[in-house]
């Protein structure tokens, strides 16, 4: 069985077919924000492939889709998977690779007439990106019981729609029970989305865990007024508070040093006109660190600065937590399996933490979990230019195949 290997052409064909849905013209990337019409079309295509592979497909109340291949014994499956929603300016590999490589593993086993000892499951989880409906990893969070389904349905997105109504509208409000059954183990293949593997000339990352994530939405309210007539000392300008905070978190991340990162990724001003001092500014702060104490420190420093900046502009602030997840450490047996199998397959491999959030970090709450990373050219992701070479995709999918078989034999 060790000579079993996946068909890279078939995997790339599926990646290309899925990338046509929500394709961003003139690029290789796609826009399939969670629970939009494009997400529905992508889901329909992947579900049709699951049926082609005769998987037993279930959909739960948060729209997670799980396809199961029977094993020679019953019991909890070894699960793989990821997400097929994207950010609005996404690449074709982020998430999609993990799901389609899972289908490729199943197809490889079917063609070779291999029945694994345990069932194998391929899942795609709803709204991993959290770009439309925060928090990120929403579907897998609900799957593991970290949030109730009613609370999740009530979440309002950046366009005012709610998760529950959009799930219903696109036909993915399923009835499989939540929380979902814990798998025997979970392993997710994903592109690194950072520069480490490429820079070090390595093919496989054995992921040791995921850094902590803190997302906050800040609304600053001041006094809208005439840009020409209002003297500077009489202004209450929320835009100034937003710019100062954006600059502060950037400097803070430099001061605290790697792996601290900080991003202001979304900002909206009202009324957003050239000659009007804004009435309000709403923006997001994304802070991440592998050490929870350091993350708490960055959160405290940011809040203190924000409070002082708002006071100095005589503005009021409102904070809303969009996501807060502690750092996660993956299971040593799964990390070892990834490392050993990648090495046995002749790949240069290193252990590394993940900078991005992943569904695996939620599954780690209920079963032994790990991840396989493959290089991202130029470390570029959340960008239509995201790219991973066919050779690296093939290497990652073959590691996934054999890690799953290994875990299914235990
Ligand atoms: C989600 O994928 C994130 O890391 O922002
Ligand atoms: Mn992803
Ligand atoms: Mn992503």
Indicate the top mutation candidate among 94, 126, 130, 135 to test ligand 1's pocket, ranked by most ligand atoms within 8 A of CB.
Answer: 130
132, 264, 282, 355, 356 from 322: Cα distances, Å:
11, 13, 13, 18, 16
Alpha carbon 186 to chain centroid, angstroms: 16
Distance 356 CA to ligand 2 centre (A): 7
Is 47 inside a domain boundary? Answer: yes
Does residue 384 contact residue 89 with C-beta atoms inside 8 Å? Answer: yes
Question: How many separate helices (H) and strands (E) can be counted in the chain?
Answer: 12, 16
Phi, psi of 285 (to 5 degrees): -120, 125
CA of 90 to the centre of ligand 2 (A): 10
d(CA 279, CA 383): 32
**Quick check: helix, strand or coil at residue 375?**
coil
- Kindly state the DSSP code that residue 377 receives in the 8-state scheme: G
- From ligand 3's centre to the CA of 358, what distance in Å? 8
> Of 161, 160, 170, which is closest to residue 62 (Cα–Cα)?
170
- Tally Cβ neighbours within 10 Å of residue 363: 30
308, 325, 342 - which closes a domain? 325
Ligand 1 atom closest to the Cα of residue 356 is 4
Q: What is the CATH number of the domain that holds 317?
A: 3.30.70.360
| Cβ proximity of 83 and 128 under 8 Å | yes
Ligand 1 atom with minimal separation from the 355 CA? 4
Q: What are phi and psi of 368, to 5 degrees?
A: -60, 130
Q: Are residues 296 and 340 in the same domain?
A: no
Secondary structure (DSSP) of 252-320: HHHHH-TT-EEE---EEEES--TTEE-SEEEEEEEEEESSHHHHHHHHHHHHHHHHHHHHHTT-EEEEE
Q: Do 28 and 44 fall within a single domain?
A: yes
Q: What is the pLDDT of residue 1?
A: 62
Q: Tell which atom from ligand 1 comes closest to the C-alpha of 130.
A: 1
Q: Would you say the CB of residue 356 lies under 6 angstroms from ligand 1?
A: yes
Is the same domain home to 66 and 167? yes
In a domain, 374, yes or no: yes
Q: Are residues 267 and 318 in the same domain?
A: yes
Residues in the chain: 410
Residue to mutate, 136, 190, 211, ligand 1, most ligand atoms under 8 Å from C-beta: 136
CA nearest neighbour of 356 among 187, 215, 210: 210
Of the candidates 137, 187, 219, 157, the residue with the CA atom closest to the CA atom of residue 341: 187
Question: What contacts 296, CB < 8 A, 6 or more positions away?
Answer: none
25 and 145 share one domain = yes
Q: Is residue 317 part of a domain?
A: yes
- Distance from C-alpha of 195 to C-alpha of 211, rounded to nearest angstrom: 16
Domain around 313? 212-325
Q: CB within 5 A of ion ligand 3: which residues? A: 94
| 28 three-state secondary structure | coil
- One domain, residues 304 and 378: no
Strands (E), 17-158: 56-59, 65-69, 78-82, 120-124
Are 135 and 216 a contacting pair, CB within 8 Å?
no
If one counts the domains in the chain, the total is: 2
Expressed in angstroms and rounded, the spacing between residue 191 Cα and the centre of ligand 1 is 12
Query: pLDDT tens for residues 320-358?
Result: 999 999 999 999 999 999 999 999 999 999 999 999 999
Q: Tell me how far CA of residue 283 lies from CA of 18, 108, 238, 272, in angstroms.
A: 32, 46, 11, 13
Taking the model in full, what pTM does it have? Answer: 0.96
The ligand that comes nearest to the alpha carbon of residue 96 is: 2
Residue 39 has phi, psi (to 5 degrees) of -60, -45
398 inside domain:
yes
Same domain, 55 and 129: yes
- Asked if residue 135 has its Cβ within 6 Å of ligand 1, the reply is no
Strands (E), 62-193: 65-69, 78-82, 120-124, 185-191
How much distance in Å is there from the Cα of 143 to the middle of ligand 2?
Answer: 17
Of 306, 300, 304, which is closest to residue 284 (Cα–Cα)?
306
pLDDT (tens digit, 9 = 90+) per residue, 126-156? 999 999 999 999 999 999 999 999 999 999 9
Q: 266: CA distance to ligand 2 center in Å?
A: 19
Instruction: Indicate if 60 and 112 belong to the same structural domain.
Output: yes
Residue 42, in any domain of the structure: yes
Q: Could you tell me if the CB of 85 is within 6 A of ligand 1?
A: no
Residue 84 lies in a domain: yes
* Ligand 1 centre distance from Cα of residue 118 (Å): 31
| Domain identity same for 320 and 221 | yes
**Pairing outcome for strands 261-263 and 56-59:** unpaired
Provide the residue-wise pLDDT of the chain in tens; the chain has 410 residues: 678 999 999 999 999 999 999 999 999 999 999 999 999 999 999 999 999 999 999 999 999 999 999 999 999 999 999 999 999 999 999 999 999 999 999 999 999 999 999 999 999 999 999 999 999 999 999 999 999 999 999 999 999 999 999 999 999 999 999 999 999 999 999 999 999 999 999 999 999 999 999 999 999 999 999 999 999 999 999 999 999 999 999 999 999 999 999 999 999 999 999 999 999 999 999 999 999 999 999 999 999 999 999 999 999 999 999 999 999 999 999 999 999 999 999 999 999 999 999 999 999 999 999 999 999 999 999 999 999 999 999 999 999 999 999 999 98
Coil, strand, or helix at residue 398? helix
DSSP state of 76: S
Instruction: Give the residue from 310, 325, 340 where a domain finishes.
Output: 325
CATH code, domain carrying 88:
3.40.630.10
1 located within any domain: no
Tell me what pLDDT residue 3 has: 87
Is residue 2 assigned to a domain?
A: no
Tell me, yes or no, whether 250 and 386 share the same domain. Answer: no
Same domain, 178 and 227: no
195 with 341, same domain: the answer is: yes
| Angstrom distance (rounded) from CA 280 to CA 376 | 38
Q: Whose CA is nearest to atom 3 of ligand 1?
A: 357
Residue 297 has a pLDDT of: 98
Q: Of 267, 299, 325, which residue sits at a domain end?
A: 325
């Amino acid at each position: 069985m060790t000579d079993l290997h996946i068909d890279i052409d078939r995997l790339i064909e599926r990646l290309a077919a899925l990338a046509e849905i929500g394709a961003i013209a003139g690029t290789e990337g796609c826009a399939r924000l969670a629970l939009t019409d494009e997400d529905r079309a992508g889901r329909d295509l992947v579900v049709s492939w699951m049926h082609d592979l005769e998987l037993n497909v279930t959909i739960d109340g948060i729209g997670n889709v799980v396809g199961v291949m029977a094993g020679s014994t019953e019991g909890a499956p070894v699960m793989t998977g990821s997400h097929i929603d994207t950010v609005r300016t996404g690449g074709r590999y982020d998430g999609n690779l993990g799901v389609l490589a899972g289908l490729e593993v199943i197809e490889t086993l079917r063609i070779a007439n291999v029945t694994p000892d345990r069932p194998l499951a391929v899942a795609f989880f709803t709204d991993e990106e959290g770009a439309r409906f925060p928090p990120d990893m929403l579907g897998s969070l609900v799957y593991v019981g970290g949030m109730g389904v009613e609370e999740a349905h009530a979440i309002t997105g950046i366009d005012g729609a709610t998760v529950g109504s959009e799930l219903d509208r696109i036909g993915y409000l399923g009835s499989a029970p939540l929380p979902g059954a814990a798998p025997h183990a979970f392993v997710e293949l994903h592109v690194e989305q950072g520069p480490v593997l490429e820079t070090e000339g390595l093919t496989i990352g054995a992921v040791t865990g995921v850094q902590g994530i803190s997302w906050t939405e800040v609304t600053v309210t001041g006094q809208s007024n005439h840009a020409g007539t209002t003297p500077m000392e009489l202004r209450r300008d929320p835009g100034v508070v937003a710019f100062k905070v954006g600059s502060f978190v950037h400097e803070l991340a430099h001061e605290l040093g790697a792996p601290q990162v900080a991003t202001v990724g979304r900002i909206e001003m009202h009324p957003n006109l050239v000659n009007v001092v804004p009435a309000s500014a709403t923006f997001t702060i994304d802070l991440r660190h592998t050490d929870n104490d350091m993350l708490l420190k960055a959160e405290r420093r940011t809040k203190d600065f924000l409070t002082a900046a708002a006071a100095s502009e005589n503005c009021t602030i409102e904070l809303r937590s969009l996501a807060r997840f502690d750092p996660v450490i993956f299971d040593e047996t799964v990390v070892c399996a990834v490392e050993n199998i990648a090495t046995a397959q002749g790949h240069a491999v290193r252990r590394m933490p993940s900078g991005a959030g992943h569904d695996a970090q939620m599954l780690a709450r209920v079963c032994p979990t790990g991840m396989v990373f493959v290089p991202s050219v130029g470390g570029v992701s959340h960008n239509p230019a995201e790219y991973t070479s066919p050779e690296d995709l093939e290497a990652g999918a073959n590691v996934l195949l054999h890690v799953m078989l290994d875990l299914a034999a235990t």
